[in-house]
Structure 1
Amino acid sequence: MARRNSILTKREREVFSLLLKDLTTKEIASALFISEKTVRNHISNVIQKLGVKGRAQAIVELLRLGELSL
Protein backbone atom coordinates (compact mmCIF):
# COMPACT_ATOMS: atom_id res chain seq x y z
CA MET A 1 0.00 0.00 0.00
CA ALA A 2 2.82 2.44 0.80
CA ARG A 3 4.16 4.37 -2.13
CA ARG A 4 7.83 4.24 -3.01
CA ASN A 5 8.72 7.89 -2.45
CA SER A 6 6.30 8.54 0.36
CA ILE A 7 7.13 11.30 2.81
CA LEU A 8 5.31 9.35 5.53
CA THR A 9 6.59 6.39 7.47
CA LYS A 10 4.32 3.36 7.68
CA ARG A 11 3.31 4.31 11.23
CA GLU A 12 2.68 7.97 10.35
CA ARG A 13 0.40 6.80 7.55
CA GLU A 14 -1.47 4.53 9.98
CA VAL A 15 -1.91 7.38 12.49
CA PHE A 16 -3.18 9.84 9.87
CA SER A 17 -5.48 7.24 8.29
CA LEU A 18 -7.13 6.85 11.70
CA LEU A 19 -7.24 10.63 12.19
CA LEU A 20 -9.14 10.81 8.90
CA LYS A 21 -11.71 8.45 10.44
CA ASP A 22 -12.17 10.99 13.25
CA LEU A 23 -10.55 8.87 15.96
CA THR A 24 -9.14 10.63 19.01
CA THR A 25 -5.49 10.44 20.03
CA LYS A 26 -6.50 7.98 22.76
CA GLU A 27 -8.44 5.79 20.30
CA ILE A 28 -5.55 5.80 17.82
CA ALA A 29 -3.10 4.83 20.58
CA SER A 30 -5.35 1.96 21.61
CA ALA A 31 -5.88 0.76 18.02
CA LEU A 32 -2.15 0.75 17.26
CA PHE A 33 -0.99 -0.49 20.69
CA ILE A 34 1.19 2.58 21.26
CA SER A 35 1.06 5.39 23.82
CA GLU A 36 -0.85 8.62 23.30
CA LYS A 37 2.51 10.44 23.53
CA THR A 38 3.81 8.37 20.62
CA VAL A 39 0.70 9.21 18.59
CA ARG A 40 1.26 12.92 19.30
CA ASN A 41 4.94 12.55 18.33
CA HIS A 42 3.99 11.01 14.97
CA ILE A 43 1.51 13.81 14.34
CA SER A 44 4.07 16.47 15.31
CA ASN A 45 6.70 14.90 13.05
CA VAL A 46 4.35 15.01 10.06
CA ILE A 47 3.30 18.60 10.80
CA GLN A 48 6.99 19.55 10.91
CA LYS A 49 7.82 17.64 7.70
CA LEU A 50 5.03 19.43 5.85
CA GLY A 51 5.66 22.86 7.38
CA VAL A 52 2.02 23.31 8.32
CA LYS A 53 0.40 24.63 11.48
CA GLY A 54 -1.78 21.79 12.70
CA ARG A 55 -3.46 18.43 12.20
CA ALA A 56 -6.17 19.76 9.91
CA GLN A 57 -3.68 21.50 7.61
CA ALA A 58 -1.51 18.37 7.62
CA ILE A 59 -4.46 16.23 6.53
CA VAL A 60 -5.40 18.66 3.76
CA GLU A 61 -1.79 18.73 2.51
CA LEU A 62 -1.43 14.93 2.67
CA LEU A 63 -4.65 14.55 0.67
CA ARG A 64 -3.43 17.14 -1.87
CA LEU A 65 -0.10 15.32 -2.22
CA GLY A 66 -1.84 11.98 -2.68
CA GLU A 67 -0.27 10.61 0.51
CA LEU A 68 -3.74 9.89 1.93
CA SER A 69 -7.07 9.25 0.30
CA LEU A 70 -10.62 9.60 1.59
Structure 2
Amino acid sequence: MKDGPKHRSLLTGREREIFNLLIEDQTTKEIASQLGISEKTVRNHISNTIQKLGVSGRAQAIIELLRLEELHLR
Protein backbone atom coordinates (compact mmCIF):
# COMPACT_ATOMS: atom_id res chain seq x y z
CA MET A 1 0.00 0.00 0.00
CA LYS A 2 1.13 3.56 -0.66
CA ASP A 3 2.58 5.76 2.10
CA GLY A 4 0.10 8.50 1.26
CA PRO A 5 -1.44 10.47 -1.57
CA LYS A 6 0.98 12.11 -3.95
CA HIS A 7 -1.61 14.79 -4.66
CA ARG A 8 -3.59 17.01 -2.35
CA SER A 9 -6.56 15.07 -1.06
CA LEU A 10 -10.08 16.11 -1.98
CA LEU A 11 -11.26 15.03 1.44
CA THR A 12 -10.70 16.52 4.86
CA GLY A 13 -9.52 14.10 7.52
CA ARG A 14 -13.03 13.91 8.99
CA GLU A 15 -14.66 13.31 5.61
CA ARG A 16 -12.19 10.48 4.98
CA GLU A 17 -12.99 8.96 8.40
CA ILE A 18 -16.72 9.10 7.69
CA PHE A 19 -16.48 7.60 4.20
CA ASN A 20 -14.18 4.83 5.45
CA LEU A 21 -16.85 3.98 8.02
CA LEU A 22 -19.56 4.13 5.36
CA ILE A 23 -17.74 1.58 3.20
CA GLU A 24 -17.57 -0.63 6.30
CA ASP A 25 -21.40 -0.51 6.18
CA GLN A 26 -21.88 1.62 9.28
CA THR A 27 -24.99 3.77 9.60
CA THR A 28 -25.00 7.52 10.10
CA LYS A 29 -26.06 6.91 13.71
CA GLU A 30 -23.21 4.42 14.30
CA ILE A 31 -20.66 6.79 12.73
CA ALA A 32 -21.87 9.70 14.86
CA SER A 33 -21.61 7.62 18.02
CA GLN A 34 -18.16 6.27 17.15
CA LEU A 35 -16.76 9.73 16.31
CA GLY A 36 -18.53 11.56 19.13
CA ILE A 37 -20.36 13.96 16.80
CA SER A 38 -24.02 14.47 15.93
CA GLU A 39 -25.80 12.63 13.14
CA LYS A 40 -26.45 16.02 11.52
CA THR A 41 -22.70 16.72 11.45
CA VAL A 42 -22.09 13.33 9.81
CA ARG A 43 -24.76 14.10 7.19
CA ASN A 44 -23.23 17.55 6.61
CA HIS A 45 -19.79 16.01 5.93
CA ILE A 46 -21.36 13.50 3.53
CA SER A 47 -23.32 16.26 1.79
CA ASN A 48 -20.22 18.46 1.45
CA THR A 49 -18.31 15.58 -0.12
CA ILE A 50 -21.15 14.81 -2.54
CA GLN A 51 -21.15 18.48 -3.60
CA LYS A 52 -17.36 18.56 -4.04
CA LEU A 53 -17.53 15.53 -6.30
CA GLY A 54 -20.56 16.70 -8.25
CA VAL A 55 -22.38 13.41 -7.76
CA SER A 56 -25.94 12.73 -6.69
CA GLY A 57 -25.65 10.45 -3.68
CA ARG A 58 -23.56 8.51 -1.19
CA ALA A 59 -23.14 5.45 -3.39
CA GLN A 60 -21.91 7.53 -6.33
CA ALA A 61 -19.60 9.45 -4.00
CA ILE A 62 -18.07 6.20 -2.74
CA ILE A 63 -17.57 4.90 -6.29
CA GLU A 64 -15.95 8.17 -7.36
CA LEU A 65 -13.69 8.29 -4.28
CA LEU A 66 -12.56 4.73 -4.98
CA ARG A 67 -11.94 5.60 -8.64
CA LEU A 68 -9.90 8.64 -7.62
CA GLU A 69 -8.01 6.48 -5.10
CA GLU A 70 -9.16 8.72 -2.24
CA LEU A 71 -10.61 5.62 -0.54
CA HIS A 72 -9.45 2.02 -0.61
CA LEU A 73 -11.37 -1.16 0.11
CA ARG A 74 -9.81 -3.27 2.84
TM-score w.r.t. the length of structure 1 is 0.95
Gaps of 5+ in 2: none
Aligned length: 70
Structure with the greater alpha carbon radius of gyration: 2
| Match runs of 1:3-42 below 5 Å | 3=5, 5-42=8-45
Query: Per-residue displacement from partner, 1:16-51 (whole Å, max 9, x unpaired)?
Result: 000000000000000100000000000000000000
Root mean square deviation, CA, Å: 1.2
What secondary structure does 2:70 align onto? Answer: coil
TM-score w.r.t. the length of structure 2 is 0.90
Q: Once superposed, which parts of structure 1, at least 4 consecutive aligned residues long, lie more than 6 Å away? A: none
Identity of aligned residues (%): 73
Higher helix share: 1
Q: Distance in 2 between matches of 1:29 and 1:9?
A: 16
Cα pair distance change 1:18/1:63, threshold 3 Å:
same
